[in-house]
Amino acid sequence: MPLPANFDHLDADALRQLLLEQERELVWRQSKIERLTHELALYRRQRYGVRAERLSAEQARLFEETTDADLAAMSEALEQLQPDSKAQTAKGQARRKALPPELPRTEIRHEPESTTCACGCQMRRIGEDVAEKLDYTPGHFTVERHIRGKWACAQCQSLVQAPVAAHIIDKGIPTAGLLAQVMVAKYQDHLPLYRQEGIFGRAGLAIPQSTLAQWVGQCGVHLQPLVDALKAELLAHPVLHADETPVAMLEPGAGKTHRAYLWSYSVGAFDPLKAV
């Protein structure tokens, strides 16, 4: 929790209250980190350990993509709780393969609003940074080339460059459109990720199922505020409809199943809000 701007002018009671709030947030943050770390270790053991279950190829793919998505979601949540972790983990990341050169490219240029230095001199363009993002429209891929020019002032040695636009996945290659395509195909059209990999392959670039699962998990973390808002809106209604669906749930490592339930909640059919 950041300190307020008028921190120096707080009285003793307000200062104690602020310290208590910060201590509560630190305890909550640490407990959530410990819980996520524990769950992450369990999921990794479940994903990569030796399993006794004998699943069909289709069931195995669904199991793996779900576990990969959950692993990515927990890793993303941990990184958000530990802001410094991204800088630490970025050093050890492998270099990403370049996007295929045969894909059509669209250049999107980002330049500063003004190239006149604060000292009054006209700045000179000395180079540029290029970031490529993979986009998809049904049937074919395209590449967005985001070009950010570098402008320098020879007089005062200052450098100006347009800021990097915010992306759903930090330093990732997919555009918001490609991520939306993956999420809608998986959850609205019920297309498993291994089938989407084949569809993308026919379009010219077979994105591995494991990569798609990581994207799904990371998107899930960023969509959590929307889920929370939907839940709050649902619970504000005086009447809710509920339904249970029994399912056979596999116990990891045991090769057995036990009876579990999926519960769904919905507003009324004639309610102006359509929410489930």
Q: What is the pLDDT of residues 76-113, one digit of tens each?
A: 777 776 765 544 444 455 567 788 899 999 999 999 98
Asked whether residue 178 is assigned to any structural domain, the reply reads: yes
More confident residue, 19 or 100: 100
If we measure between CA atoms, which residue out of 47, 40, 49, 48 comes closest to residue 78? 40
Same-domain pairing of 171 and 202: yes
Same-domain pairing of 161 and 266: no
Tell me what the mean pLDDT of segment 125-134 comes to: 92
Structural domain for 251, as ranges: 237-276
Rounded distance, CA 133 to CA 179, Å?
11
Rounded distance, CA 229 to CA 262, Å?
21
Asked whether residue 9 is assigned to any structural domain, the reply reads: no
Same-domain pairing of 111 and 144: yes
Asked whether residue 172 is assigned to any structural domain, the reply reads: yes
Same-domain pairing of 171 and 109: yes
What's the residue count for the chain? 276
Residue 37 pLDDT greater than 80, yes or no:
no
Same-domain pairing of 118 and 68: no
Asked whether residue 8 is assigned to any structural domain, the reply reads: no
Q: Which of 39, 64, 90 is the last residue of a domain?
A: 90
- Angstrom CA distances, 87 to 79, 91, 166, 193, 276, stand at 10, 7, 17, 30, 38
Same-domain pairing of 125 and 163: yes
pLDDT band at 11 (very low <50, low <70, confident <90, very high): confident
Residue 139: left (phi > 0), alpha (psi -120 to 50), or beta? left
Asked whether residue 159 is assigned to any structural domain, the reply reads: yes
Same-domain pairing of 276 and 182: no
CB of 141 within 8 A of CB of 174?
Answer: no
Same-domain pairing of 65 and 123: no
Same-domain pairing of 85 and 135: no
Asked whether residue 176 is assigned to any structural domain, the reply reads: yes
Same-domain pairing of 152 and 196: yes
- For the stretch 169-214, pLDDT in tens is 888 899 999 999 999 999 999 999 999 999 999 999 999 998 999 8
Same-domain pairing of 259 and 179: no
More confident residue, 3 or 223: 223
Asked whether residue 231 is assigned to any structural domain, the reply reads: no
Number of domains in the chain: 3
Is the full-model pTM beyond 0.75? no
Asked whether residue 99 is assigned to any structural domain, the reply reads: no
